[in-house]
Amino acid sequence: MKTFKLLNFGSDKLKRLNILSHRLDAEILLSKVLNKDREDILINLQKELKMDSIFEFNNLIKRRLSREPIAYITAEKEFWSKIFNVNYNTLIPRPETELLVDKLVNIFKNKKINILDVGTGSGCIIISLLGDIKNSKGIGIDISKNALKIAKKNAEKHNMQNKVKFLNKSISDLFNYKFDLIVSNPPYIAKKNIKNLDDDIKKYEPLIALNGGNDGLDVIKKVIYKAKYILKINGMLAIEIGNEQYKKVSSILKRNNFRIKYYIKDYKENIRCLISNLIK
């Protein structure tokens, strides 16, 4: 079978299940099978494919038909112009989180700081920050040992293993540290709302990284409360929040001696990140 026919076949199957990115997904999966860039595939659409490649492609299409995210099928996701390894133990990095990284890089670009990433997952946030805030170092913490295995792998992949340490800890268990910046993309979905998420998310992404408790604020409160004790005075806390949590989280920050300095809107104009300074 020729490349274009196989791509059309895969794309049509995905389209019938209302997967909007059906064509792109088919191209990405075939590039995974052939271990070639999408561009190479698209300029060689008349090429005849071997049966084992066709068989493997069909298996990957079946996985996508069950709503498994492309990032888990390919075991990687691009974030901040870098390719990160991901698996079922890590959240898939989102474009909205790049907006937070962009703002923090602009704030700290030429400074030497000590960073803590709470709930580091794949390590994409802290590795991206340390790649651009050149003279800095950091720690990524996560309660999932399996997520930390991926984070360490990503640090080595991007030559950051000497700039970042990963610890299997909750933020509540951190003592004797002082940071200039604490950043976190914590679980912020209310427990009752998890059932309403798309199948791609609720069936495959780690529940521990999604479930923010009864009101979605359990981990956010913990991070804000603990940050008071491990941030330097005027240190910065950058936290990603869910839709419509802005007012509640702002109130929690103010009660804990934080002054909001910036808020970041996502691509749908929802406030998704709050950046504040610790004042005393």
Instruction: For residue 245, name the pLDDT band (cuts at 50, 70, 90).
Output: very high
Does residue 256 lie within any of the structural domains? Answer: yes
Does residue 221 lie within any of the structural domains? Answer: yes
Instruction: For residue 176, name the pLDDT band (cuts at 50, 70, 90).
Output: confident
Does residue 89 lie within any of the structural domains? Answer: yes
Provide mean pLDDT across the span 241-247.
91
The contacts of residue 230 (CB under 8 Å, 6+ apart) are: 116, 171, 174, 175, 177, 178, 179, 182
Query: 179 pairs with which residues across the strands?
Result: 231
Does residue 71 lie within any of the structural domains? Answer: no
Task: Give pLDDT tens digits for 60-79.
Answer: 999 999 999 999 999 999 99
Q: Return mean pLDDT, the chain.
A: 95
The CATH number of the domain holding residue 238 is 3.40.50.150
Instruction: For residue 280, name the pLDDT band (cuts at 50, 70, 90).
Output: confident
**Percent of the chain whose predicted confidence (pLDDT) is above 70:** 100
Task: Give pLDDT tens digits for 215-224.
Answer: 999 999 999 9
Task: State which of 66, 91, 115 marks the end of a domain.
Answer: 66
Task: State which of 30, 45, 66 marks the end of a domain.
Answer: 66
- Domain containing 272: what range? 79-278
φ, ψ (nearest 5 deg) of residue 138:
-160, 170
Tell me: do 213 and 236 sit in the same domain.
yes
Give the count of domains, the chain: 2
Tell me: do 141 and 97 sit in the same domain.
yes
Tell me: do 90 and 150 sit in the same domain.
yes
pTM of model > 0.85: yes
Task: Give pLDDT tens digits for 100-158.
Answer: 999 999 999 989 999 999 999 999 999 999 999 999 999 999 999 999 999 999 999 99
Tell me: do 50 and 164 sit in the same domain.
no
Tell me: do 108 and 182 sit in the same domain.
yes
Task: State which of 66, 88, 119 marks the end of a domain.
Answer: 66
3-class secondary-structure state, position 274: strand
Tell me: do 118 and 199 sit in the same domain.
yes
Does residue 22 lie within any of the structural domains? Answer: yes
The CATH number of the domain holding residue 25 is 1.10.8
Q: Which long-range contacts (CB under 8 A, 24 or more apart) does 259-264 make?
A: 261/236, 262/103, 264/99, 264/100, 264/103
Does residue 28 lie within any of the structural domains? Answer: yes
The contacts of residue 121 (CB under 8 Å, 6+ apart) are: 90, 91, 142, 144, 147, 150, 151, 185, 209
Does residue 73 lie within any of the structural domains? Answer: no
Does residue 192 lie within any of the structural domains? Answer: yes
Tell me: do 220 and 122 sit in the same domain.
yes
Tell me: do 87 and 20 sit in the same domain.
no
